Chain A
Amino acid sequence: MKEKIAEYFFLICSLISIGAVALICFFIFRGAYPAVQTVGLWPFLTGGLWKPTDIPPLFGIFNMIVGSVYVTAGACLIGVPVGVFTAVYMAKYCPQKIYAGMSQLVSLLAGIPSIIYGFFGMMLIVPFIADNFSGNGNSVLAASIVLGVMVLPTIIKVSEVSLKAVPKTYYEGALALGATKEQSIFFVLIPAAKSGILTGIVLGIGRAIGETMAVVMVAGNANILPETIFKSVRTLTANIVLEMGYASGTHFDAIVATGAVLFVFILLLNLVLGVINKGSKTAGT
């Protein structure tokens, strides 16, 4: 009897989590539907003009989709190499003495609120870009750098764990063949930890594409298709948060639909994760 009660309790907890996901899915797509019906799916996704106050209003989020992809790709260009190599350092080079401190600092990086990252970008990176390159500094580049730093802890932690999980015998086997430490790491260790590292990267991408506050603070948010990395950019998330406060009617629906598009991106990333994990399972046996 007691066991049954415990079982039901755990079941209810699980249902709450699953229910939350299901509800979010349902409401975001239901909320998005009216906008898609009014504007049309294709014009909505591929339209370059977003003029909610014009008569008739225009709702095209193409620039923002591209914007989100740009800053996320930029974040990867910065965050992936730095993150993966930091993980390699922590897993294979770092002296015991500084490991604990370093590990804690990485965890701290994960805990910093995004608005603080935003300030960091506003006060340091934006002025730096304005002074040394073109434009006023609010740009694709600034957003990419801030996001690149923000995804570091995710990439570092997950990669480090998977690098450490690689059997020591692989590393020793490579060394015993006369490979240098670097050759052993790059051609045996990293390939063996590949699925874990990829998981970290995908999780990092998820974080970058969904990040809002820090991006709004440094991206400039103009609804244009940026021609250079020094130009302003508006992401999907920025579009939502900037206009949510005063939107109504179709405008509001279109904003929810923007969120739905973002949600689809996240679903796709999850799909990729599933494939990676499945691949690692079959390769591991």
Chain B
Amino acid sequence: MNLHYGAFHALHNVNLGIDENEITAFIGPSGCGKSTLLKSLNRMNDLVQTCRITGKITLDGEDIYGNIDVNMLRKRMGMVFQKPNPFPMSIYDNVAYGPRTHGIKKKSELDRIVEESLKNAAIWDEVKDRLKKSALAVSGGQQQRLCIARALAVKPEVLLLDEPTSALDPISTVKIEDLLLELRERYTIVIVTHNMGQAARISDKTAFFLHGEIVESGLTMDIFSNPSDRKTEDYITGRFG
């Protein structure tokens, strides 16, 4: 697929398969198009008026830019942003927001989903006594795990993470990485990261982006130990980027 922002050709002939129950990492220098591709996957780029996409992106064989319900697509593709963005409401309401939006009203059902989601996001023990407190009062790392819980609460199939740890301290980062490795069992995960070590530690597949193109993609192990393209090697060894 190709993507333009106005006259700017942001993604060139990108062709990539993302496999189920694996972590796929998008790496590359700033402005290379990795976040753009991620946002195309759940159509958050629709918010950019000048954005134009040609080609096809499919989820389970279905063209997501075809005749589908965008909101259902976004429900299936949970997204976690670079900066933790909990809503300015209680922790409980944050997690319950998605399910409520999709029509779940029963208190017991919501309670169950909130607990389960927070547990899955490995933050339950830290917040279970203050579910009614403002989500903005917890630390940045906790906020980000809360955002993951919020995304999990709508029962997505895919988790899209846009540099989820770039605003966090190392300890929080480790917690999130461990969490993602656990979540891999049940979800397909795509993570955009600036952190080469992170890609190497947690991903199964890696795609290296440069100037809007995928230079190389494949098993993370291969890309990091034996890159086939010179530019990939230069990037992962820290010669630029």
**Interface residue? B205 (CB, 8 A):** no
User: For residue B147, which residues in chain A have a CB less than 8 angstroms away from its CB?
Assistant: 173
A interface, over-half SS: helix
Considering the complex, give the chain B residue whose CB is closest to the CB of A188: B87
**A104 at interface, CB cutoff 8 A:** no
User: What does the 1/0 interface line of A145-188 toward B look like (CB < 8 Å)?
Assistant: 00000000000000000000001011011111111100100011
Measured CA separation A183–B101 after assembly (Å): 7
> Do the beta carbons of B71 and A283 come within 8 Å of each other?
no
Q: A178-B98, A178-B101, A179-B101 are in contact. Are A173 and B81 (CB under 8 A)?
A: yes
* Binding-face segment, B72-80, B175-183, B215-223: B72-80
Tally A residues with Cβ within 8 Å of B. Answer: 20
Does B79 contact A176, Cβ atoms closer than 8 Å?
yes
Evaluate contact between B71 and A180: CB separation under 8 angstroms. yes
CA distance A170 to B89 in the complex (A): 11
In the assembled complex, the CB of B132 is this many whole angstroms from the nearest CB of chain A, namely 13
Question: Which residues of B in the span 93-143 have a Cβ within 8 Å of any Cβ on A?
Answer: 97-98, 100-102, 134, 136-137
Residues A182-234 near B (CB distance < 8 A): 183, 187-188, 191-192
Q: Which residues of B contact A173 (CB under 8 A)?
A: 81, 85-87, 147, 150
Chain A residue with the shortest CB-CB distance to B137: A285
Query: A258 to nearest B CB, angstroms?
Result: 42
In angstroms, Cα B89 to Cα A177, docked, is: 16
Interface mask (B31-68 → A, CB under 8 Å = 1, otherwise 0): 00000000000101001000000000000000000000
What are 20 pairs between A and B in contact, CB < 8 Å? A169-B83, A170-B85, A172-B81, A173-B85, A173-B147, A174-B87, A175-B74, A176-B44, A176-B74, A176-B79, A177-B74, A177-B78, A177-B97, A177-B98, A177-B101, A178-B75, A178-B102, A187-B97, A284-B136, A285-B137
